[in-house]
Structure 1
Amino acid sequence: MPDNGKLRLFHLPFSFMLPQHVAGDRGYFADEGIEVEIVERDRESVDWKYIPAEETLTGDYDMDLYPICKWESLKRTWDMDDGRVVGAGTFADQPYTVYVRPESDVEEPSDLAGVPVGVNRRTGQEYTVIRALEEHVPPEAVILEHHGMPTDRLRALRDGEVKAVSLLEPQSTLAEHLGFRAVLRFENHMGIVAAEEVDAETLDAFMRAYARAVGAINDDPDAFREEYLAMLDADADVAPDLFEGVDREALLASIEVPTYEPPEPADRAELGAHLEWMKRRQLVDENADIDAIVGPAR
């Protein structure tokens, strides 16, 4: 436990992170004997990514635990010494989807060879997209372009600035209501990173509270629908043009709260295999050492 007795949790206001918010609001962390402070950046102040690219969360922002893409967790902890990876998982039955405009000649994943796909770089999602595309096209045919936040990517696709974009829910459903076509779906993989001060007992308590929130949501998803849709409401505030002409009532009615999964303790062997792939693709320093990246055995 940190010296001040309070666990500072960085929160991504994305649909797959809903259980962390629920565990805080419903007192599940407190029931496990840990006092938490959930830190979330305001959507209107974020124009690129929620996790700062040049500052450390465990140092500059004084966070104790933070979620991030599994592959970015490997890179960030090595390159920036920003904590150690202690957990990983898919977190939700909620895939990434690559969308194209309705008139596009891209009909199947193999047609994405040489086609720029819009992502938000330095968030980790680019690694997820690369891995998925490499199952259908040669590695040298994977082309990614930075187009920012989900609303920025949707706008870029709408305006013809890019031929395809990757999205998660609930922006995926918005894309479909805007008439875009899905051509590829693949799992979203996340990691949990902890500062050195977080001990095994505190981490176990965090995991139990998180799993309890997962169970509560899965047992009664409709009870959490309003919280789930909060991010879409925030998007409507910062990008109202994307919602023009969209039947908002029909849009909301078509969005379902997904089934969630709690994170699992970090698997050193599995993450080591991912690290080796990143090295082969020259996505991380060739000297990166999995023993310096993954937290101590629990």
Structure 2
Amino acid sequence: MVFIEQPAAWLCWDFHTLFEEDANVSLAAPKTSLVVAPNVPVFDLPIHVALEHGLFAKRGLEVTFSETYSQAGYSNPDAFKRQKESLYERRQADAYNLCEWAGLDRSERSGRGSQVQALRPAVVAQVILSFDPAIQELRDLAGVAVGINQFTGSHYTTLQFLDGALAREDIVLSHVGEPLLRYEALKRGELRAAALMEPYVSLALKEGAHIIGVNFYRGAEVVAPDLPATLRNAYLEAINEAADLINADFDRYKHYIVEPIKDRLAVHELARTFVRYAHSRPMDEARFAYTYEWMRGWQLTPGASEFSSLVVA
């Protein structure tokens, strides 16, 4: 594989007594709040829907986003300087979601410590697209730089796609970063192919691109290992219920996904084809072993960790 980098005063109060009482209450009360670092809206949709319908509050949880999703903070070459990872590492968030492979990678390298809690509800396609009529199938990508965001789903799924269709030495990846920049480089012809997810797939097809390959994949819910199990399980129950609502009326929630490019893609133009939502489920030991060995084969991990250290059993 070839990889190309692109670039007040208190009156008559016994303060000591009050402080002591408050401390005792906080020590006895279980933690019920969780702060989430934001990801691309198509992946975070179940969280948005759960917030809209009060599904966390129904379970006694207070869930908030640490800040608004920013494309500009999505693709720093150093993964731990990206928005969601840096918020988590600085303890400004307790959890976030990302692709399965990256969930293991970040948990393995986290300075704070993290684990994969489960496979996330979002089952989203990374789609290799092209405007170039000379590129019609995966075999046509031999020696052709495919635009990706390094160490994210676009990176890993492209390796999965092309390993088998091409010799490894013919696989060329180009780190372009955030999806809108990747799409614009594709449209200008600076890239002949790029891996993208929604809403950029619908935008590309609207503007004349064609599909070379589609790969649906599950992502991972990464959580702080010190969060109580009751909180983690209630959180997953809420986003699973949200997934059911999305599946029952996807059109009602499309606007969340379209938001980053709402000036270029109308809500009704977002396809239903390239995104699905299912209940989160555990990453079992067999799946971990297969995924981890695949990562090792691509030198994406030193391969020195155990299932129990990277995954919530």
- TM bucket, shorter chain: 0.7 to 0.9
Gaps spanning 5+ residues in structure 1: where? Answer: 237-242
1:219-268 CA distance string (max 9 Å, x none): 122222323322322xx4xxxxxx4xxxx55xx43323544112212222
* 2:297 aligned with 1:276: no
Which of 269, 282, 293 is 2:310 aligned to? Answer: 293
**8 Å CA contact retained: 1:58, 1:194:** no
Structure 1 length as normaliser, TM-score? 0.85
**1:11 alignment counterpart:** 38
Change (3 A) 1:225 1:91: closer
**8 Å CA contact retained: 1:12, 1:40:** no
**2:93 alignment counterpart:** 63
Q: How does 1:103-252 map to 2 (within 5 A)?
A: 103=133, 105-233=134-262, 236=263, 243=264, 252=267
Q: Per the alignment, in what secondary structure is the counterpart of residue 40 of structure 2?
A: coil
* 2:29 aligned with 1:29: no
TM-superposed deviation, 1:50? 12
The 2-side partners of 1:85 and 1:166 are apart by 25
**1:86 alignment counterpart:** 117
Q: Per the alignment, in what secondary structure is the counterpart of residue 37 of structure 1?
A: strand
**8 Å CA contact retained: 2:37, 2:88:** no
Gaps spanning 5+ residues in structure 2: where? Answer: 1-27
**1:41 alignment counterpart:** 68
**8 Å CA contact retained: 2:72, 2:178:** no
> Structure 1: which amino acid aligns with 2:290?
A
> Structure 2: which amino acid aligns with 1:39?
S
**2:102 alignment counterpart:** 72
Change (3 A) 1:2 1:40: farther
TM-superposed deviation, 1:52? 5.4
Q: How many residues align?
A: 280
> Structure 1: which amino acid aligns with 2:208?
G
> Structure 1: which amino acid aligns with 2:54?
G
1:163-201 CA distance string (max 9 Å, x none): 110011111011112211111111133101110222221
1:56-92 CA distance string (max 9 Å, x none): 5443143222101110111111122441111115623
Which of the two has higher C-alpha Rg?
Answer: 2
**8 Å CA contact retained: 2:132, 2:192:** no
> Structure 2: which amino acid aligns with 1:262?
H
TM-superposed deviation, 1:41? 3.3
The 1-side partners of 2:223 and 2:29 are apart by 11
Structure 2 length as normaliser, TM-score? 0.81
> Structure 2: which amino acid aligns with 1:25?
E
**1:253 alignment counterpart:** 268
Change (3 A) 1:32 1:49: farther
The 2-side partners of 1:12 and 1:49 are apart by 14
Question: What value does the CA root-mean-square deviation take over the aligned residues?
Answer: 2.5
Stretches of 4+ aligned residues off by more than 6 angstroms: none
